[in-house]
Structure 1
Amino acid sequence: MALFFAFGVGPAFAVCNISDTKLEEAVLKSPELRKPENRYLVRDLRTLRNAAFVLWTYGLHDDCERVLANIRQLIAAPSMAKLGGNDEDLADEQLAAGEPQQHEGGGVQGSRNAPDARPLINLDDLGPGLRVDEIVGSEVRSSDDKIVGEVRNVVIGTKDRWDYAVVAAGGFFIAGKDSIVVPLRYLQINQERTSFYLRISSADVKAVPLMPDQECLWLADEAWRAKNDAIFQKLIPDPVRYGTPAAPQVKTDAK
């Protein structure tokens, strides 16, 4: 899978540097942004960031920078934000059920059973490959087309070649809150590139352990990673055409 950053090319990058907002870093580090009552703000900040990227791609660099300035202002003072929904009780019910009212892939019920549904694509078969902004923030669904959550982060380049997507699950789409860690090789994507799909069912997702920390310390915890990855290996063995790298090894103390 080809993976590259889309923000570092051309002189316009210096005019409207989207990465300078450090939004995901702020979400991870700010206790205030991680409060449940600010989940709407976090969602809206990510929407604004996506809008800034669209403006940048169309050459509207001044407009892009104005949006980024608003993002920085809201990050610095989250109390300035006001909820914009008219039916917050219904939104809370949807979030608590893990079924958002709106997401990039479309309806809550999914469309994999539609007569015109096209086959899913293995990530290794994509051409061209995915940009980072096409992964982070995308919805993730189970093999039976139930909403699981959305991609909050991507971990690339572990020494044993196991790359991961951190998927915020459980309804509250805030990084580190009820997140699971999914090996990228166990994901597929629809041809519209709007939704990722696990190769396991919604029932099997319940067996996947929650991410134990927000600082990615679990990357060095080989025992935890081996347990996590084994769940996917057991359910869907060897999904990769070009060979499976060695599984993380559990260290044992010498006797």
Structure 2
Amino acid sequence: MKPIFEAEFRFYAELNDFLAPPQHHHSLPYRFAGHPGIKDPIEVFGVPHTEVELIIVNGLTVRFDYQLRPGDRVSVYPIFKTLNITPEIQLRAAPAPRFVIDVNLGKLAKHLRLLGFDCLYRNDYHDREIVAIAADNQRIVLTRDRRLLFAKRIDHGYWVRAVKSDQQVIEVLSRFNLYGLIAPFARCILCNGKLALVDKQDVLELLEPKTKLYYEIFYRCTECQQIYWNGSHIENMQRHFKELLTG
């Protein structure tokens, strides 16, 4: 029979969202045999590896391949939003702001596309498809299903806490520091294709009479050919998001 050892884990900040309430902000014992990789006990506590940015063991930074040893004191930190840490201690390279979004977050996908972000979404995605897309195309998974983030092939992902879509948008923008990258009229809200300026004469026959009369600037999706213009509905959405983003 293998001897049983013990290490001590402490999770910080929003990582406590994944723990049972009695475990919040406490040092937690972990009993083990052998020398497991440190990612395994972190996920045993219920914390997805995608939510972890920094691991410190006995005062030294380690990576996910570190093998746990008897008596280790482990501190686990989430993504730093306002503090830069050096590349030598990061667990993974910083991701590009490209997303794949699960079936429970359709409104979030639409809103992020409206703000110009590359978001793959279908309402019939299976979990295995999301995992494959994230791994093969280096996309960040956004999900309301924390279990999805335990998939080994996912490097970058985020469990969206908010329930309402407006708050979800603010949460994602803040989490990935995207405010400076907002670019309306960059993406089609229907298919995620890129939008391009188009001459009014090229789409004239597709427009309603009032649209022809009152608007001069038009965009067309390079994928699905959907036509966009800065009408009242777009103005209302932009005003809505401006209010959200400025508090």
Which of structures 1 and 2 has the bigger CA Rg? Answer: 2
Q: Which has the higher strand share?
A: 2
Greater length-normalized contact order (CA 8 Å, ≥ 6 residues apart): 1
TM-score, reference length from structure 2: 0.25
